[in-house]
Structure 1
Amino acid sequence: MAIVSPAILTALNTGVKKNFQDGYKEFRAKSFWDKVATLIPSTTSSNTYGWLGDFPQLREWVGDRVIRDMKASGYSIENKLYEATLGVQRTQIEDDQYGHFAPVASSMGQEAAQHPDRLVQAVINSAGTSLCFDGQYFFDTDHPVYANVDGTGAATSVSNVEAGTDPAWYLLDCSKVLKPFIFQERTKPELEMRFDPSTSEAAFIRDQYQWGIRYRCNAGYGFWQLARKSQAALDATSFEAGRTSMRTLKGDGGRPLGIVPNILLVPPSLESAADRVVNVKTLPNGGDNPNYGKATVVVMDWVA
């Protein structure tokens, strides 16, 4: 039986934190979220993205500069606090039964690395019923686009969703600095240990040591123009129609937006169909596939 000394606890804590970091780094390298979402560091309880409503383009400089004010869209993302806590009985450490802590700590690190994936995919799954910067649902049939470049004049309704009965798939333009979705991070995931009976109620009352993850972050929406949702059957015809729709989108005042979707985002059930559309070079009839390489297939793991 081991005597649970401060030295043993310090060594155990060091090992647990290393296992946590190893697990985190392994799964962070496999993350899904940063393929479709922009990381926005946060220094307050929430971030407001007023600039989402308007992004100036270059014009010929004739006369004075034309200053365009940011639209006060008021779209904000509030950081949320997340935790996961592991309790270990002191008797397990006394009895030298802590060899299994390493895989558990690694698993906690993996979970921390996957947490942004879950948040971003939850945002995607609920995008048909969640508001974005223009006051419409992110995926909607009536996003307003105005006649004048300054956002005034008559509004025309523009859709970035196609109805159907098949599982949803998405076309995304993630080539720009701001991707269709936002992952907002207030703090990095932290692992803390509590084992001092003088400061930890669990250690004194329940004879239990605790390790806990603490993480402040959230996810939200960028430009709706960079994403399109479809529930039509995923084939060459629907892919080409969706791609053409995105490439011909115009902003306020009829400005071409230059959108070129480069990611085909699908649930696991449509991975094979997506591969047939963009990853097969030669068609079954022997001809060349005109859509070959026009998008990278990304598969979502957590689908609503």
Structure 2
Amino acid sequence: MIVTPGSLAALFTAFKAEFQNAQAATPTDWARIATSVPSSSASNTYGWLGQFPTFREWIGDRVLKNMAAHSYSITNKKFESSVGVPRDSIEDDEIGVYKPLFAEMGRASTAHPDELVFGLLKAGLTTLCYDGQNFFDVDHPVYTQTDGTGTAVSVSNYQDGEGPAWYLLDVSRAIKPIIFQVRRNYALKAMTSMDDEQVFMRDEYRYGVDARVNGGFGFWQFAYCSKAPLTPESYGAARAAMKNFRADGGRPLGINPGLLVVPSQLEGAARKILVKDANSGNEWAGTAEVLAPSWLG
């Protein structure tokens, strides 16, 4: 191939097609447990976390609640993946060798949110959420007054144990347990200008994908973590605990724990609990779906 600006543009179009096709074809699970939130600045502050809307009978004037504001912020981070293609390879028509690489870059860009979101879920025992406690903790403060004042009562969304962690989640709400924040989405770019200094110095064309994104925690009340053995008894205890979660002031939250997220070694146990078996009277069958993403191990 004769290397010209036109041939380089056509080559980038071919590489981009491989990238986009793989990007679109790659399955992903992160949206099952995370809400995508757009960002227009370096970080987003979620001051409204902890404020659950409630209704009252409208008698007289509206009652405006001065809710306690939280300073929980998610700062966007930059991520990149880049490759170099030697000019000699283009001149020698070795383009087919690189097409799978660009397809893999497309797959990786779609899978990266999975890696971030499920990695954050695993880190919930040691990572703070909006109330200043670890996302999974035994000491979440819930206050006796609806405005976040009064006496604080400690509430737990964690059950200790020696086994691998499993997670019961309510993913039926507008805000899911995890927030995936997007400032700049994943896109393929090229540095192929003939007068670029690096092209001149190295005789190499560069292609890269970059994004500005990050993950953070939503409401801890929508998630429960257990390291106890995954049995019908421990699963039932987790459901009961979540259904008893209340907002400040004691109002029930109507939690619906409908997704059981497990590492691969617990997938069989999870399905025995949740999938109906004609040979056994399984009381928990159908009460939640099973999700076993590879990112949990």
Deviation at 1:253, TM superposition (A): 1.0
C-alpha displacement of 1:271:
0.7
CA contact (8 A) 2:67 2:147 kept: no
Partner in structure 1 of residue 77 of structure 2 = 80
Question: How far apart in 1 are the matches of 2:81 and 2:254?
Answer: 43
* Structure 2 counterpart SS, 1:81: strand
- How far does residue 71 in structure 1 lie from its aligned partner after superposition? 2.4
Paired letter, 2:238: G
Out of 225, 229, 246, which is 1:229 matched to?
225
Q: CA deviation at 1:42?
A: 0.7
2:130 matches 1:137: no
Identical pairs, percent? 46
Q: Which residue of structure 2 aligns with residue 252 of structure 1?
A: 248
What is the CA-CA distance between 1:160 and the residue it aligns to?
0.2
Contact 2:68 2:147 in 1 (8 A): no
State whether residues 67 and 148 of structure 2, in contact with CA within 8 Å, keep that contact through their aligned partners in structure 1: no
Question: Where in structure 2 are the equivalents of 1:32-47 lying within 5 Å?
Answer: 32-47=29-44
Determine the structure 2 residue equivalent to 1:189.
186
Q: Secondary structure at the match of 2:296?
A: coil
- Give the CA deviation at 1:186: 0.6
Q: Secondary structure at the match of 1:250?
A: coil
In 1: Cα distance, 2:266 partner to 2:137 partner: 22
Alignment pair present for 1:238 and 2:231: no
Give the conservation status (yes or no) of the 8 Å contact 2:35–2:178: yes
Residue 50 of structure 1 contacts residue 70 of structure 1 at CA under 8 Å; is this kept in 2?
no
Provide the C-alpha distance between the structure 1 equivalents of 2:200 and 2:113, rounded to a whole number of angstroms: 35
Distance 2:65 2:41 in 1: 27
What amino acid does structure 2 have at the position aligned with 1:299?
A
Q: Do residues 204 (structure 1) and 200 (structure 2) align?
A: yes
Aligned to 2:25: 26
Match among 162, 166, 179 for residue 163 of structure 2: 166
Return the letter of the residue paired with 1:251. A
Q: Which amino acid aligns with 2:176?
A: K
Unpaired stretches in structure 2, ≥5 consecutive residues: none
**Cα RMSD after superposing both structures:** 1.1
- Conserved? CA contact 2:85–2:205, under 8 Å: yes
Q: CA deviation at 1:102?
A: 1.6
Corresponding position of 1:4: 3
Which stretch of the first structure deviates more once superposed, 233-242 or 200-209? 200-209
SS in structure 1 of the partner of residue 48 of structure 2: helix
Structure 1: state its 5+ residue gaps: none
SS in 2 for 1:52: coil
**2: CA distance, partners of 1:209 / 1:269:** 44
How many residues are treated as equivalent by the alignment?
Answer: 297
CA contact (8 A) 1:181 1:222 kept: yes
Which residue of 1 is the match for residue 293 of structure 2? 300
1:65 equivalent to 2:58? Answer no
Query: Contact conserved, 1:123 with 1:220, CA < 8 A, in 2?
Result: yes
Native 8 Å contact 1:164 1:231 kept in 2: yes
Distance in 2 of aligned mates of 1:115 and 1:73 = 29
CA distance in 2, matches of 1:69, 1:190: 42
Q: Confirm or deny that 1:128 pairs with 2:125.
A: yes
TM-score scaled to structure 1, two decimals? Answer: 0.95
3-state DSSP of counterpart to 1:254:
coil
Q: Which residue identity lines up with residue 295 of structure 2 in the other structure? A: W
Deviation at 1:197, TM superposition (A): 3.1
Provide the C-alpha distance between the structure 1 equivalents of 2:154 and 2:269, rounded to a whole number of angstroms: 31
Deviation at 1:303, TM superposition (A): 2.7
Aligned to 2:283: 290
| Amino acid paired to 1:116 | P
Alignment-mate amino acid for residue 129 of structure 1: T
The answer to whether the Cα contact below 8 Å between 1:56 and 1:68 also exists between their aligned partners in 2 is: no
Q: What amino acid sits opposite 1:204 in the alignment? A: F
Q: Distance in 1 between matches of 2:53 and 2:82?
A: 46
Contact 1:182 1:222 in 2 (8 A): yes
| Distance apart, 1:175 and its partner CA | 0.5
